[in-house]
Amino acid sequence: MLEGHSDMLSELVLLSFDKVMQTRAYTVIVLGSEEKKFAIYTDPSTGRTLQLFLTGAEKPRPLTHDLINSILTSLDAKVIQVVIYDMQDTIYFARLFLEQSDGNIRHIVEIDARPSDSIIMALMNNAPVYCTKDVLDKTVAIED
């Protein structure tokens, strides 16, 4: 686990992707820890992208996340983790952590990103998703 951003002084909690639910108006991404499950709401197009990835559906052309992944691959960079580090009202804030190797030197880059996009990138790259203990404490638990 990487050292966190200065806003992330709290302990990190590993999350698992539980499910995605889609309506016309929004998408619900359900994440969980051993302690509880919570929902992140996002736009329907992000939900459709997530569904395409999860089902392994063939896409006629690369989507935005595919493009970003291809750019990262061509730059020898990879997604190493996502940290959801803040929550204000119902809005979550995340950081996407990338690693790029240059010979024996490893560069870690931290990028501000929407949690929904970060989760898709993490799933595409088999990278862990964390949230801070503070964020987990603030979330509203949902039942199955």
pLDDT tens by residue, 94-144: 999 999 988 889 999 999 999 999 999 999 999 999 999 999 999 999 886
Residue 29: name the closest of 134, 127, 123, 99 by CA. Answer: 123
Residue boundaries of the structural domains of the chain: 12-138
Q: What is the pTM of this model?
A: 0.86
Q: Is the pLDDT of residue 41 over 80?
A: yes
- The pLDDT of residue 3: 47
Percent of the chain's residues with pLDDT above 90: 60
Q: Which of these CATH numbers, 2.70.98.60, 3.40.309.10, 3.40.50.720, 3.10.690.10, describes 12-138? A: 3.10.690.10
pLDDT averaged over every residue in the chain:
89
Q: Using pLDDT thresholds of 50, 70 and 90, give the confidence band for residue 6.
A: very low
Those residues whose C-beta lies under 8 Å from the C-beta of residue 102, and which sit 6 or more positions away, are none
The tens digit of pLDDT for each residue in 58-77 reads 888 888 888 999 999 998 89
